[in-house]
Chains A and B, each alone.
Chain A
Amino acid sequence: MSNSFRTTNSTGLINKDKKINFTFNGTIYHGYEGDTLASALIANGVHLVGRSFKYHRPRGFLGVGVEEPNAMVQLHDGNKSEPNIIATEVELVEGLKAKSQNCWPSVQFDIGEINNVLNRFFPAGFYYKTFMWPKSFWMKIYEPFIRKAAGMGKAPLLPDPDRYEHNYEHCDVLVVGSGPSGLASALAAAKNGARVILAEDKPNFGGSLLTDEVTIGNMSGKEWASDTISQLKSMPNVILKKRSQVFGYYDHNMTVMIERVSDHIENPSKYTPRQRLHYIRAGEVIVSTGSIERPISFGNNDRPGIVLASAAKEYMKVYETLVGKKPIIFTNNDTAYSTALEFIKNDIEPIIVDTRDSSNGELVKEVQQKGISIKFNSGIADTKGHLKINSAIIGKLDSSKESFISEETVECDCICMSGGWTPTVHLSSQAGNKLKFNDDIDAFVPDKKRQKETAIGAANGSFTLNQSLAEGFQVGFDLSNKFTDQNNPTNSPNSNEPSYEKHEKLWCMPLPSGKKPKRFIDFQNDVAVSDVELAIREGFRSIEHVKRYTTLGMAGDQGKTSNLNGLQYVSKIEKKIVPEVGHTTFRPPYTPVTIGAIVGREVGNHYLPTRKSPIHTWHEENNAVFVAAGLWQRPRYYPRGSEDMNSAVNREAANVRKNVGICDVTTLGKIDIKGPDAPEFLNRVYTNAWLKLPVGKARYGVMLREDGMVFDDGTTSRLSENHFHMTTTTAQAANVLSHLEYYLQVVWPDLDVNVLSTTEQWSGIAVAGPKSRDLLSKLFPDVDMSNEGLPFMGLVDSSIDGIKARIYRISFSGELAYEVNVESNYGLYTWKKIMEVGQSFDIQPYGTEALSTLRIEMGHVAGAELDGRTIPFDVGLNSMVSQKKDFIGKRSLSKDAFTESDRQTIVGLVPLDKKTKIPEGSHIIEDNSAVAPIPKLGHVSSSCWSVEYNNPFSIAIIKDGKNKIGKNLYAVSPLKDISIPVEVVSSHYVDPEGSRVRS
């Protein structure tokens, strides 16, 4: 039965000369170039494509495009595997592999179908009711069960191998949708000189013009579409994008569009992205997204073979494919008659069931003239056929249309239904447009706009071709006139289409006598009429609540075919008009979007920028193990031979204490501060005094936030009267700069000070250890390195091999130490030079781990202690706080909570066994045998192995810490399930007098 459902005509858009092979559920089929996976399967007689979400009922295609709620498939294998793809949106490509999802073991025989038999146990709100208690069942029993039963497709476990790109665009007018109104508006706007982007989701421009028998000017609709596209293509101010769905409308006219660049190409070039995400900031957005046909609810209206009438027509006209050979057309309006006529053109006589009493529409008459009789005042009550429809029960409606007066069974292989049309208002609604209900078309249309967005054509409820074209040309001209001064309108050509009579306000059929089959409203979420009835019976009134309780209109589908039928049914039961019921919110994305496209190129190493010091290559060549410090890559330690991290860190730290070490501190934040008010500014920013710092001296400074918490610390040096060099921690560098700019620009604009980041202009090299003076004396023979010549916190300018260098005598390690700063480009050279000269002093590089060890031993605070929850008094910085002057955050320090006598303070901890390392983050408690909740005294902020004493040492911040020194407490880590007896000691574990830095 290969392609036995193809028509014999060749008026569509497929190329029957080019066969394309594909696999569905393991069977090989072929279709043609231009087919979608859906049209190719239907042409091969395959309608059964999946199982429904809740009841695992067999499901087939309902639609032909984005509106498709059922036919979601899993595409490809392995790392290219992709779940929940709408088969109607997949262009056929050689070798395509697709399979059904949500079924086991197969789509023909699915265990989950038991849910359908047991459906009285799966009513609306089932999940909420059944799985509420006992609580302990949730993780182990309920959740796995729900996951297995409700599984849609499977997410691939391997990294996505495809390439996705992001693109940013600006335009005057973005037109979304290329039907008659979209083409008209794009043409009018472009001819008037505006920069236009026209976006079309499908592979072909034209929208309804590709399927409707109409004329525009002296051309057919299809010819006019292609002529208009040719004109637009020739214009330099127009970008045409097909296979491009505008799926989201965000603030300030930012729209996001997904373009399928190479999904339809058999062997795309390596550098072609699979998809491209466009961020389009448009001056004006024209929403010409058309309308979607509404289904009708009737008994078992979800069997494979039951499709929308417009879909059946498009399959015939565009894809040369028949959804069936024994069709029933079931409608409440005239438009479905064009589907009937298309069947007749293909020598198939449909049975026509119309809920209305009569219609004098042109198409209805044309059908009647062909000798086809119409069953007016009738509806479909029920259907039969397990995996595919095989017959329908057609009933005669009584005068109230609330029940059937007679029923007959009619054989068929498809039903093409039409409940009228719903404008596609999703984008307008996302843009904040307050929709209004239009009683003529029984649907919501855009009304009060919040953004620069205008809906036209069917999306605006203008269903006739004349209206659509007129609106398109007018709006395209009006809006483009905001951007150009050409004032060049384009006239709307005459058009001709059949006249239509009104639809009937009937979207839900009565039940057949003596039976209660499910009448579905939302196919994707498996919501039937009975579920809506139940929700209302149980007291859910707000439409938003009904939506959540029943899941109507949720998820990927966003209620494209179900929304209004749901509202209409609620309004019927509630005896309210639809506008009183209101509508739910439409949310982006309009259609599902691959996560890879949203991520774009920001994957792997591109996830974040990487910052490297100019000395980075040396670290690499010397076996450094790196650690991320913000965006920076810093050497963590430099293992030798088979050394593990602990041995390497201990060796590096011990060498600083004994000989001399060298550490790359380029990553420290550096800020150049200039201006006559610079000393006053620093005096306000830092907690200590700055007015009298002599030129040529550095000073340690602490800055607070206004709430009194320590914000950052570092040394700042006075280079000349009005010129300072500030250093910040690596982590806070950017925040400190913003902080300074805030106070200078917003709070104290009268201060004459400029600040500028110089972090990347300077390379910093710390040289620390008892032999550092001798080493530097050799490197800088012209500089007097004696304690008098360059004292602690002094600085001096010099040079090394002709390179200007600034030497600061500052120390983070607690040893005699210096920091050499050179222009960044000379960082690597200088580092190598110091290493070379340092060989005779047993110099070794040390990384961030040894750096931490050294500062922890000394009780110097860092980020772990300055965690945004500590004031200066908590972390032993009392002497840094000036009593004489005001500064940022000072007033907070006198608040009651900050002056309590037993406030948390910094202490040192040593395990009693002198062996067990105390995990960072451990809680400090007094009584190890107490039962929970145990009062917590504080926590361990930093831990190291003390190379000075050869035992573990930690810093902790604990309540009333200064009175706890000498006491034994417990450090407990529930995570690691350990409790360590510890002695509280001073946080200044090594050289508490600070004599080494001054030696």
Chain B
Amino acid sequence: MLEIKCPYCGKRSQNEFSYGGDATIKRPQLGEEISTEDWDNFVYYRDNPRGKHSELWHHVSGCRQWFKVSRDTATHEIFDTCKMNEDFNV
């Protein structure tokens, strides 16, 4: 079980959180003209990197904030966590 540092609450066990996928995905603007291919890339296609991955987690059984986690998908090492409006330090 991972130990994740919520930027609002501090270190908590993984079972308080839920995973929210790739944090680098940007939703297209509302009303934006967009090709089916670009839309499909947004909806369905995700990279599956081995190694460092910037991802979203949601502190569901805590402060209910979404935040960013930089995690190694192979070793589960967590390099940094930060609020949505912040950038990772490492």
Residues of A within 8 A of B (CB): 250-254, 279, 281, 432, 450, 684, 706-707, 734, 737-738, 741-742, 745-747, 749, 885-886, 891-892, 895-896
Q: Specify which chain A residues have a CB less than 8 angstroms from the CB of B44 in the assembled complex.
A: 707
Q: Specify which chain A residues have a CB less than 8 angstroms from the CB of B42 in the assembled complex.
A: 706
Partner of A252, one of B3, B43, B56, B66: B3
The answer to whether B75 and A450 have CB atoms under 8 Å apart is: yes
Partner of A745, one of B1, B39, B65: B65
With A252-B2, A252-B78 given, name 4 new contacts (CB 8 A): A251-B1, A253-B3, A734-B60, A738-B60
Q: How far is the CA of A252 from the CA of B71 in the complex (A)?
A: 12
Q: Specify which chain B residues have a CB less than 8 angstroms from the CB of A742 in the assembled complex.
A: 20, 58, 66
Q: Specify which chain A residues have a CB less than 8 angstroms from the CB of B62 in the assembled complex.
A: none
The answer to whether A707 and B76 have CB atoms under 8 Å apart is: no
Q: How far is the CA of A738 from the CA of B60 in the complex (A)?
A: 8
B48 contacts A by Cβ under 8 Å: no
A434, chain B: closest CB distance, angstroms? 12
The answer to whether B2 and A745 have CB atoms under 8 Å apart is: no
B27 contacts A by Cβ under 8 Å: yes
The answer to whether A749 and B85 have CB atoms under 8 Å apart is: yes
Q: Specify which chain A residues have a CB less than 8 angstroms from the CB of B76 in the assembled complex.
A: 251-252
Q: Specify which chain A residues have a CB less than 8 angstroms from the CB of B64 in the assembled complex.
A: 737, 741
Q: Specify which chain B residues have a CB less than 8 angstroms from the CB of A749 in the assembled complex.
A: 84-85
A97, chain B: closest CB distance, angstroms? 37
A690, chain B: closest CB distance, angstroms? 14
Q: How far is the CA of A760 from the CA of B27 in the complex (A)?
A: 33
B90 contacts A by Cβ under 8 Å: no
The answer to whether B20 and A707 have CB atoms under 8 Å apart is: no
The answer to whether A746 and B75 have CB atoms under 8 Å apart is: no
Q: How far is the CA of A891 from the CA of B39 in the complex (A)?
A: 8
Q: How far is the CA of A416 from the CA of B4 in the complex (A)?
A: 50
Q: Specify which chain A residues have a CB less than 8 angstroms from the CB of B60 in the assembled complex.
A: 734, 738
B51 contacts A by Cβ under 8 Å: no
Q: A891-B39, A895-B36 are in contact. Are A886 and B31 (CB under 8 A)?
A: yes
The answer to whether A747 and B43 have CB atoms under 8 Å apart is: no
Q: Specify which chain B residues have a CB less than 8 angstroms from the CB of A281 in the assembled complex.
A: 3, 13
Q: How far is the CA of A450 from the CA of B76 in the complex (A)?
A: 10
- For chain B, what secondary structure do more than half of its interface residues adopt (helix, strand, loop), or is it mixed? loop
- Tell me the count of chain B residues lying within 8 A, CB to CB, of chain A: 28
Q: How far is the CA of A474 from the CA of B65 in the complex (A)?
A: 43
Q: Specify which chain A residues have a CB less than 8 angstroms from the CB of B84 in the assembled complex.
A: 745-746, 749
| Chain B minimum-CB-distance residue to A887 | B30
- For chain A, what secondary structure do more than half of its interface residues adopt (helix, strand, loop), or is it mixed? helix
Q: Specify which chain A residues have a CB less than 8 angstroms from the CB of B30 in the assembled complex.
A: 684, 886
CB-defined A-B contacts under 8 Å, sample of 14: A251-B2, A252-B3, A253-B3, A279-B1, A281-B3, A450-B77, A706-B43, A734-B60, A738-B18, A742-B20, A742-B58, A749-B84, A891-B28, A895-B36
Q: Specify which chain A residues have a CB less than 8 angstroms from the CB of B28 in the assembled complex.
A: 891
| Chain A minimum-CB-distance residue to B30 | A886
Q: Specify which chain B residues have a CB less than 8 angstroms from the CB of A891 in the assembled complex.
A: 28, 34, 39
Closest 3 CB pairs of A and B: A252-B3, A886-B30, A745-B66
Q: How far is the CA of A940 from the CA of B43 in the complex (A)?
A: 29
Interface string of B40-69 (1 = CB under 8 A from A): 001110000000000010101000111000
B40, chain A: closest CB distance, angstroms? 8
Q: How far is the CA of A891 from the CA of B60 in the complex (A)?
A: 29
Q: Specify which chain A residues have a CB less than 8 angstroms from the CB of B39 in the assembled complex.
A: 891-892, 895
| Chain A minimum-CB-distance residue to B68 | A746
Q: How far is the CA of A781 from the CA of B45 in the complex (A)?
A: 59
| Chain B minimum-CB-distance residue to A254 | B1
B32, chain A: closest CB distance, angstroms? 8
Q: A450-B75, A745-B84 are in contact. Are A252 and B65 (CB under 8 A)?
A: no
Q: How far is the CA of A840 from the CA of B36 in the complex (A)?
A: 61
The answer to whether B58 and A738 have CB atoms under 8 Å apart is: yes
Partner of B1, one of A252, A737, A896: A252
Q: Specify which chain A residues have a CB less than 8 angstroms from the CB of B43 in the assembled complex.
A: 706-707, 892
Q: How far is the CA of A250 from the CA of B3 in the complex (A)?
A: 11
B6, chain A: closest CB distance, angstroms? 13
B89, chain A: closest CB distance, angstroms? 19
Q: Specify which chain B residues have a CB less than 8 angstroms from the CB of A707 in the assembled complex.
A: 43-44
Q: How far is the CA of A707 from the CA of B44 in the complex (A)?
A: 8
| Chain B minimum-CB-distance residue to A251 | B76
Q: How far is the CA of A250 from the CA of B76 in the complex (A)?
A: 11
Which residues of chain B in 1-29 are interfacial with respect to chain A, using CB atoms and an 8 Å cutoff? 1-3, 13, 18, 20, 27-28
Q: Specify which chain B residues have a CB less than 8 angstroms from the CB of A746 in the assembled complex.
A: 20, 56, 66, 84
Q: How far is the CA of A886 from the CA of B2 in the complex (A)?
A: 39
Q: How far is the CA of A252 from the CA of B14 in the complex (A)?
A: 10
B79, chain A: closest CB distance, angstroms? 13
Q: How far is the CA of A429 from the CA of B64 in the complex (A)?
A: 36
Q: Specify which chain B residues have a CB less than 8 angstroms from the CB of A886 in the assembled complex.
A: 30-31
The answer to whether A432 and B75 have CB atoms under 8 Å apart is: yes
Q: Specify which chain B residues have a CB less than 8 angstroms from the CB of A885 in the assembled complex.
A: 31
Q: How far is the CA of A749 from the CA of B26 in the complex (A)?
A: 13
The answer to whether A747 and B27 have CB atoms under 8 Å apart is: yes
Q: Specify which chain B residues have a CB less than 8 angstroms from the CB of A450 in the assembled complex.
A: 75, 77
| Chain B minimum-CB-distance residue to A744 | B66
Q: Specify which chain A residues have a CB less than 8 angstroms from the CB of B13 in the assembled complex.
A: 254, 281
Q: How far is the CA of A490 from the CA of B37 in the complex (A)?
A: 67
B27, chain A: closest CB distance, angstroms? 5
| Chain B minimum-CB-distance residue to A743 | B27
Q: Specify which chain A residues have a CB less than 8 angstroms from the CB of B31 in the assembled complex.
A: 885-886
Q: How far is the CA of A250 from the CA of B14 in the complex (A)?
A: 12
| Chain A minimum-CB-distance residue to B28 | A891
A682, chain B: closest CB distance, angstroms? 14
Q: How far is the CA of A393 from the CA of B58 in the complex (A)?
A: 68
B50, chain A: closest CB distance, angstroms? 15
The answer to whether A741 and B1 have CB atoms under 8 Å apart is: no
| Chain A minimum-CB-distance residue to B64 | A741
A893, chain B: closest CB distance, angstroms? 11
The answer to whether A741 and B3 have CB atoms under 8 Å apart is: no
Q: Specify which chain A residues have a CB less than 8 angstroms from the CB of B3 in the assembled complex.
A: 252-254, 281
A149, chain B: closest CB distance, angstroms? 39
Q: How far is the CA of A737 from the CA of B65 in the complex (A)?
A: 12
